[in-house]
Amino acid sequence: MQIYLLRHGIAEDARPGQADADRALTTEGVKRLREILKRARIAGVAPSLIVTSPYVRARQTAELAAEIMGYSEELAKSTKLTPMASPVDTWAEVRTLRNEPSLLLVGHEPHMGSFTGHLLATPELRVDFKKGAMVRIDLMDFGVQPRGVLKWMMAPKLAL
């Protein structure tokens, strides 16, 4: 299975009284994401399932990814992709999706960085997961402890 991890794009600052989960992408965030996602499509990213955090900015990122990558199915939502989610819990959910050839998981920091380390069997690894960054990790088995192979990471500055 190919797993693509994508951090949401640039989001608005929280307004007084606004919940973090309700922050939306900025115009600049959408513009940059479009360019990054076009590069990902050219690189062959074609997920069979897109799963997103329920937060507005992640959902908007997933919707944009679906549009650009020609994904026409309904987006799946998961609380296992929120900022403080447990990588162990996220892995347990991914294991239930093992029949999918490729997953695109859309979420937040610090979870995207820590989940990358978890998938690579190096939980102490720290990944600087910028907004709009994408990682591809390939997995061959779905045991209790993942052992993935890092294929590439696309940083926004390099993609743009």
The rounded distance, in Å, linking the Cα atoms of 160 and 157 is 5
Asked if the model's pLDDT at residue 156 lies above 90, the reply is: no
CATH number at residue 57: 3.40.50.1240
Q: With 80 as the cut, is the pLDDT of residue 20 above it?
A: yes
Collapsing DSSP to helix, strand or coil, 48 comes out as coil
| Digit-coded pLDDT (tens) for 143-152 | 899 999 999 9
Give SS3 for 60. helix
17 domain residue, yes or no: no
pTM of the model: 0.96
Element (H, E) at 63: helix 56-69
> Do residues 105 and 3 touch, judged by C-beta distance below 8 A?
yes
User: Which H or E run contains 106?
Assistant: strand 102-107
pLDDT (0 to 100) of residue 160: 60
Over the stretch 32-89, which tens digit does the pLDDT of each residue have? 999 999 999 999 999 999 999 999 999 999 999 999 999 999 999 999 999 999 999 9
| Residue 48 in tokens | 């069979």
Count of structural domains within the chain? 1
Three-class SS state of 47: coil
Distance CA 154, CA 152 (A): 7
* Domain around 102: 2-11+22-159
Task: Indicate whether 83 belongs to any domain.
Answer: yes
Per-residue pLDDT for 95 more than 70?
yes
Residue 16 in domain: no
Q: What angle do CA 140, 143, 148 make, to 5 degrees?
A: 40
Average pLDDT, the chain: 95
